[in-house]
Amino acid sequence: MTKTDWVLSPNHNERRGKIRLIVLHCDASPSEQATLDWCARPESKVSYHALVHRDGWVSRMVPDERRAWHAGKALWNGVTDVNSVSLGLAFACRHDGQEKLTAAQLDIAQAVVQYWCQRYDIEAVVGHRDVAPTRKTDPYRAPNFRVEDYACFV
């Protein structure tokens, strides 16, 4: 990965399972800095393993071996602790149905997903809505998001 920095979040703990899944998100925030600031606050109880900025920069928040707090109440293949078996990758995007993901975001996110798929035994790449359909819609409201663009790496 290139153009990467670490902006550590305190919101993580020990994994209780093997990494098998990647969950893609949109942060629904007007700016990357707002997302980083929110995830740096313990009271937010939110974090991602990585945030992909609009310009393609990647901010890492939680080391892969730790359990980030991105999926919340979720279910995947009978697993209710989705955070323990997944990596969370967020796009900086208002997720308002109008803002598209940038070409730089799409390119770097595919590179990150490909890297994680090569490094771990990933079984699926899904959107947040796929594991929390009654609570979440991200990242599917981004007009040019297609989860199929990431499935080819699994």
- Rounded to an integer, what distance in angstroms lies between the CA atom of residue 37 and that of residue 41? 7
pTM: 0.96
Q: Is residue 22 scored above 90 in pLDDT? A: yes
pLDDT tens per residue across span 62-77: 999 999 999 999 999 9
> Is the pLDDT at 143 greater than 90, yes or no?
yes
Amino acid in position 151? A
Q: Which two tokens stand for residue 123?
A: 């079984």
Say which residue the tokens 């920069």 belong to: 57
Domains belonging to the chain, first-starting first, are: 4-151 (3.40.80.10)
Cβ atoms of 3 and 58 within 8 Å: the answer is yes
**Alpha-carbon gap, residue 51 to 33, rounded angstroms:** 10
Q: What type of residue is 96?
A: D
pLDDT at 129: 97
- HSE, side-chain direction, 13 A CA sphere, residue 146: 5
**Identity of residue 19:** I
